Chain A
Amino acid sequence: MHQDKRTAYWRANLRLVAFCLGIWFVCSYGFGVLFVEQLNSIRVGGFRLGFWFAQQGSIYVFVLLIFFYAWRMNRIDRQYDVHED
């Protein structure tokens, strides 16, 4: 029936989710926690970069990621003809 299309749509969604969560992980747990000391040796203005990612940068990235995901998903919905209205 529509099983192939259904699977393809779901794959496309999972790829996008995996991509976004990769960035989510790197910008918070990577830059803000695991590699914070290394990044702290770089200065941007009055901030040490690792500290900035932990208290500012990660949050900005989170906001952008959700809007990016919503935008891309709307396009994928249309492409597979499963969009609403």
Chain B
Amino acid sequence: MSLQFMTYAVVGSSFALYIGIAFWSRARNTGDFYIAGRSVSPLANGMATAADWMSAASFISMAGLIAFLGYDGSVYLMGWTGGYVLLALLLAPYLRKFGKFTVPEFIAERYYSKTARIVAVICLIFISFTYVAGQMRGVGIVFSRFLEVDVTVGLLVGMGVVFIYAVLGGMKGITYTQVAQYCVLIFAYTVPAIFIAIQITDNPIPQLAFGSEITGTGTALLDKLDDIVTSLGFHEYTSGTKSKIDVFCITMALMVGTAGLPHVIVRFFTVPRVRDARISAGYALLFIAILYTTAPAVGSMARYNLINTIQPGPVGAVDGNLEYEARPEWFRTWQRTGLVQFEDKNGDGRVQYYNDANPDFADRAAEYGWRGNELTVDRDIMVLANPEIAGLPNWVIALVAAGGIAAALSTAAGLLLVISAAVSHDLIKGIFVPNISEEHELLAGRIAAGLAIVVAGYLGFDPPGWVAQVVAFAFGLAAASLFPVILLGIFFKRVNKYGAIAGMLTGLLFTYGYIEYFKGLFLKWAGSPWGDNVAAHWLFGISPEGIGVIGMCLNFAVAIAVSYLTPPPPERIQRMVDDLRVPRNFDEGKL
């Protein structure tokens, strides 16, 4: 069977499955629509959270990023998992006890303020749209590569599928679809990894394989990798180039940002009990860890495979490099997409891949007769091309396509839902039309979800130049705005509405200002006075990716200082916080 037919069959049946689940789990009331009727088992919620969390970026881009960054890629591995510890210990159980529908709703009640609610909604919508645009783009790319249809057609099909199950099923439909999507994506991710691990090291467990010896050489994979990358002028794989403070701050910003992302927090509103929220975070991270501990193995093996293909002989020997005409099939396939590019700079008919930006290596390159790096590999293809590089059967390649789409769709659906809930529940019901009937609120939620899909599709179809840059902003913003006020709301009774609003605005404006200054998100024009984005100009040597940590600290400091200068929160709020802190109130009987 041809690869294309196989891919259509696998992707098509995965879609049929998602839509079938959506019909089975339609939302009947606002409780179903926002929080799945609070009836999701902790295990299922853990799986759904994992699918919700692992986006096109985790599935497609992360291993490739690590392959080229080496140790520096650890910031993503630790940053995007460690946040769950904060979530499980500091936020999830208490927010579940609070027992309402949305994150801005918590902020509104705890800080007895509609202004705080509106600020929170603005943060939420900005963070979520930034994210969702990237997901829709991911769907389009996978479609165009594997199904060989136009990116636009791919996008429309993806939008259609999300529309059916998000609008119809709300949180309930999304949750059970995400469980199925998790299974598809984790299978698609680990199967090729296992095959490649066996090919390189004879060890079928990728997590152990990248610490094993390469079959028949007696040299450990990572040692060999350090050896060959340095011999080509690259930085050693197992050590880093970023400064310690920057690695520290980026990791922290990603962790705290993870814990502050509304579409992740809201997943813990769907379980029946407080204790379920705690254990569910454990399941979620366990399911996430299966992919996140495989990713660095895939990264190192992919880098090794790539270099081994390009540089089969000794570095510097005349016949040490791959002959262009003898290049393997995957090389040709990906060249057609433009994601692998070759230019024979020294005209020897062979491919040279090395670090021509390293001045210490320039002399040696000249000695070898090399005239610059000839190969450009887009790091996003590492996971998608992996099964082809390893020569795996067509069904595995088809599965990887379905997995990439599952990862993107599940995240997009979760984000669209929090956007629609923020509009229908926080803005319409909470502020503008408090007397709206439940039926109309549900309808408003569905319309908002539909509109959000159209906007997300448009952003994915024609992403403004800033989409890629604002991802760092989404995390920085979540870390600097939402996380501190939720945390203080639970752990610090004295913090009042003035402190919370001042804190959120300080964190938001500082973080936005810093990223704007260095990256020019919205306000960059030719000759603008913004600074060059280089380490020498950064505050304390912290890059814009890590600055959310400083924003967070400012938010904490301002919120506490302002609260002590203004009257304490009313008695009923202090009692509410007391009740948040215990799973079952002392005065009540057993549930």
Contact = CB atoms under 8 A, between A and B. Distances in A.
Interface of A: 1-2, 5-6, 9-10, 13, 17, 20-21, 24, 28-29, 32-34, 36-37, 40, 44-48, 51-52, 54-56, 58-60, 62-63, 65-67, 69-70, 73-74, 77, 80, 82-85
A17 B278 CA distance: 12
Interface in B204-252: 207-208, 210-213, 220-223, 238-240, 244, 247-248, 251-252
A47 B78 contact: no
A45 B221 CA distance: 11
Interface string B295-316: 0100000000000000000000
Given A60-B293, A62-B289, A46 B212 contact: yes
Given A45-B220, A51-B71, A59-B77, A65 B251 contact: no
Contact of A24 (B82, B93, B586): B82
B161 interface: no
B279 interface: yes
Nearest to B277: A70
B81 A17 contact: no
Contact of B584 (A13, A33, A83): A83
A29 B282 CA distance: 20
Given A33-B251, A36-B240, 7 more contacts: A20-B85, A24-B82, A40-B239, A55-B66, A55-B77, A66-B88, A84-B274
A59 B220 contact: no
B497 interface: no
B275 interface: yes
Given A45-B212, A63-B286, A67-B279, A84 B583 contact: yes
B212 A17 contact: no
Interface residue range, chain B: 35 or more
B85 A66 contact: yes
Q: Which of B82, B252, B581 has the most CB of A within 10 A?
A: B82
Interface string B569-591: 00000000010011111110011
B281 interface: yes
Contacts of A20: 85, 89
Contacts of B286: 63
Given A66-B281, A70-B88, A85-B591, A10 B296 contact: no
10 contacts: A33-B74, A33-B251, A55-B74, A56-B207, A58-B82, A63-B286, A69-B88, A80-B582, A82-B585, A84-B591
A64 to B, nearest CB: 9
A2 B211 contact: no
A84 B273 contact: yes
**Top 5 nearest A-B pairs by Cβ distance?**
A46-B220, A54-B74, A66-B282, A70-B278, A46-B211
Interface string B92-124: 010000000000000000000000000000000
Q: Which of A10, A55, A56 has the most CB of B within 10 A?
A: A55
Interface in B99-157: none
Contacts of B591: 84-85
Contacts, number: 145
A28 B66 CA distance: 17
A60 B78 CA distance: 10
Interface of B: 66, 71, 73-74, 77-78, 81-82, 84-85, 88-90, 93, 207-208, 210-213, 220-223, 238-240, 244, 247-248, 251-252, 273-275, 278-279, 281-282, 285-286, 289, 292-293, 296, 578, 581-587, 590-591
A42 to B, nearest CB: 13
Contacts of A63: 282, 285-286, 289
A7 to B, nearest CB: 10
Given A47-B211, A74-B275, A62 B584 contact: no
A41 B582 CA distance: 46
Q: Which of A1, A10, A46 has the most CB of B within 10 A?
A: A46
Nearest to A5: B586
B238 A62 contact: no
Contacts of B223: 46
Contacts of A67: 279, 282
Contacts of B273: 84-85
Contacts of A77: 275, 583
A82 B78 contact: no
B275 A84 contact: yes
Given A56-B296, A82-B582, A21 B238 contact: no
A59 B81 contact: yes
A10 to B, nearest CB: 6
Given A46-B221, A62-B82, A70-B278, A82 B587 contact: no
A44 B114 CA distance: 55
A62 B81 contact: yes
A73 B586 CA distance: 16
B85 A29 contact: no
B213 A84 contact: no
Nearest to A9: B582
Contacts of B71: 36, 51, 54-55
Contact of B293 (A1, A21, A59, A66): A59
